[in-house]
A and B are shown apart, each in its own frame.
Chain A
């Protein structure tokens, strides 16, 4: 069972049962995560500072329920996929978006 990750400022997993360890890549860099997590959770826990940029400004999830699209990333080539609604799959390729 993974521990709460004590990091300052960023998101942390709480002590809890989780799924099997898995790995996705975010902009080519490997990010460890657990089966059953959403891509948003994996990215927040890894401290990814921006899921996308709008007009040069960084953005991360706002609503976590599929209504704001601030968490949109490119998943396996499909742009503007909502990471808060997408469950990780081992080997998934995620790219943050620039614009």
Chain B
């Protein structure tokens, strides 16, 4: 016997929760399946930056890759609008604050990077402007004298990663969606005009196999996307990236903005309850299986070099952070794609199955969700999704053969 839904969402991170809520809002019968607890992976572990400027990792590899990365700008612009309205639509706070964000430069070379980056972003229509050190410190007195210039984007900010995903899931629940935790999808097979989803449901009593059917299946499985692709015999290439974050004990508010750096990996912000979050993409070590492939189900280990590097980067531009008591440093794993652009669209050759992942999928999660639902409905999405079509890698791998 199997249960029938309009849509099944696989994965209970921010993207999955946003999908379930938006689908339920359109009146669909939805089930969200999460093999763990909700929001326990990248979506609950990330920095919660809503950043729209190009990141250090994009400009770090030269101008060509920065230009490619800039092609995701339409998604970012849409995300900025999404986040501003999301809490009101949902009727619950997501801890969103968009008080602007800085990208800092401490050397002449970095100033030049900022200049070119800002011009490129402005071409794509982002509201961003270049400030000199004095102007930056007037807006942000906590910045050190070593800051020579800053690109300021007033749209940037943060959301609370702790509450955003679960709040969206609760919204879905209120609209009649089913949310099943400890339920792992293990197979996806065509069934009639739709799909049969096989899952293992775990409880203290043991395991139970489920077979659920749906017209559409939404893959929102983050770093596990490639693995789900394998269930469908489709290559959805993703690269796992283990990253470190740290958080301080609460302290009186002193950093209202998002702070990033053009010459080193840094993101720094203060949350609503006073804690300071420090990250920016410092790597952690992914455990490797015997065959050298990363093991995604084991916790990555912290690298001392990252602890040192991240702390030095933060203290360098915001000296007050030196004495801040750090309560926790943790690692999470996120996905990027071989070409740095996200994967958003129908799974090639598998009508009815859709996927989104890659890059800043916290910032972009709501836009991803909106786009996939439009595609599934056969409506034109708000933006041109062509550059993010998952089929681009299929074409590549065929061409190589």
Contact = CB atoms under 8 A, between A and B. Distances in A.
Interface residues on A, range: under 10
The DSSP consensus for interface residues of chain A is: strand
A85 to B, nearest CB: 14
Interface string B318-331: 00000111000000
B274 A80 contact: no
Interface string B229-253: 0000000000000000000011110
Interface of A: 72, 77-80, 99
Given A99-B250, A99-B252, A79 B323 contact: yes
Interface in B310-324: 323-324
Contacts of A99: 250-252, 274
Interface residues of B, number: 8
Interface of B: 249-252, 274, 323-325
A79 B274 contact: no
Contacts of A78: 323
Nearest to A99: B250
A-B residue pairs, 6 tightest by C-beta: A80-B325, A78-B323, A80-B249, A79-B325, A99-B250, A77-B323
14 contacts: A72-B325, A77-B323, A78-B323, A79-B249, A79-B251, A79-B323, A79-B324, A79-B325, A80-B249, A80-B325, A99-B250, A99-B251, A99-B252, A99-B274
Nearest to A76: B323
Contacts of B249: 79-80
Contacts of A72: 325
Contacts of A80: 249, 325
A78 B323 CA distance: 6
B346 to A, nearest CB: 50
A77 B320 CA distance: 11
A20 to B, nearest CB: 29
A49 B331 CA distance: 39
Contacts of B274: 99
A24 B184 CA distance: 59
Contacts of B250: 99
Nearest to B273: A99
Nearest to B249: A80
Contacts of B251: 79, 99
Given A77-B323, A79-B324, A80-B325, 8 more contacts: A72-B325, A78-B323, A79-B251, A79-B325, A80-B249, A99-B250, A99-B251, A99-B252
A67 to B, nearest CB: 14
